[in-house]
Amino acid sequence: MSAVMEETGWAKINLALHVRARRNDGYHEIETLFAFVDGGDGIVAEVADADRLTIEGEFAKGLSDGADNLVMQVLALLRARYGTDRVPPLAVTLTKHLPVAAGIGGGSADAAAMARLVRTHFLPELGDAVLARIISPLGADIAACVASTTCLGVGVGEELRAVPELRLGGTPVLLVNPRQPVATGPVFAAWDGIDRGELFGDPAGRAQLLAARNDLQRPATAQCPAITDMLTELGALGPWLARMSGSGATCFALFDAAATRDAAGVRLAQSHPHWWYMAGALR
């Protein structure tokens, strides 16, 4: 075991998100295609005499470094199951490169990264399914973030199905956020209640992805009108798909070539230097 342990909370995007029904428990039945970008928040940890969390980075301000942080809650859940002998106290540094309340995983991605780090160094016998089940109380998209590969999520997003026929790994992607947080709860609450149909038939395909949608775009745009501007400008720069992720406000564009993605990023940064950008590829 190395003295310093590292893991990445990969940025999550929802390539499509169909809301099918509102449940009595306050959650919603959804169908969503999760994908992950090869960049995100960083986690570094070392064995220590007690758990402690330090948060750094551009988007660290306002985040709790206490026991209520999802990263620390992961440690608590794994230690409660396997004991201090298996999961020792850790000094953790979380570097927040991703904006908060942005529809790209955030706390769930960081929690999943912490879980993978502990698994790699202390609990190597655990598979993704077991690891996700242990920390699933922390969020509906935790299971997808543990695997951090393209998959279809149903139920409240926790039931995962492989979609190998899409073959999206390596696709150039550009993420854009107007640096305006959008709260998930109010966006789901403002969904109009209309079931507009399933996300994919069988098998899933690129044409079906292009015909899909994000049912939360309208209520998210009511909170953050800049979403419309981002999608309009992204769509004019040559992607084969541009859409809002999750509950917003981050929007993404998928390109056929990295050079086209990079040129789009340069043009947007020149006209909107205050926006946040991340260029990468799908994992």
pLDDT digits (tens, 9 = 90+) for 103-140: 999 899 999 999 999 999 999 999 999 999 999 999 98
Residue 117 burial (CB < 10 Å; 0-12/13-18/19+)? buried
pTM of this prediction?
0.94
141 is catalytic: yes
Domain range 167-281, its CATH number among 3.30.70.890, 3.30.530.20, 3.30.300.130, 3.40.1360.10: 3.30.70.890
CATH code 3.30.70.890 region(s) in the chain: 167-281
Instruction: Find the mean pLDDT for residues 36-50.
Output: 98
Q: Which two tokens stand for residue 182?
A: 């959008």
Q: Give the per-residue pLDDT at 203.
A: 61
Mean pLDDT value across the chain: 95
12 is catalytic: yes
Active-site hit among 12, 51, 96, 110: 12
Active-site hit among 51, 110, 141, 215: 141
Nearest-angstrom CA–CA distance, 75 and 6: 15
Q: Is the distance from CB of 172 to CB of 259 less than 8 angstroms?
A: no
Q: Return the minimum-mean-pLDDT range out of 21-25, 59-63, 74-78.
A: 21-25
Domain 5-162 has CATH 3.30.230.10: yes
CATH code 3.30.230.10 region(s) in the chain: 5-162
Instruction: Find the mean pLDDT for residues 96-105.
Output: 96
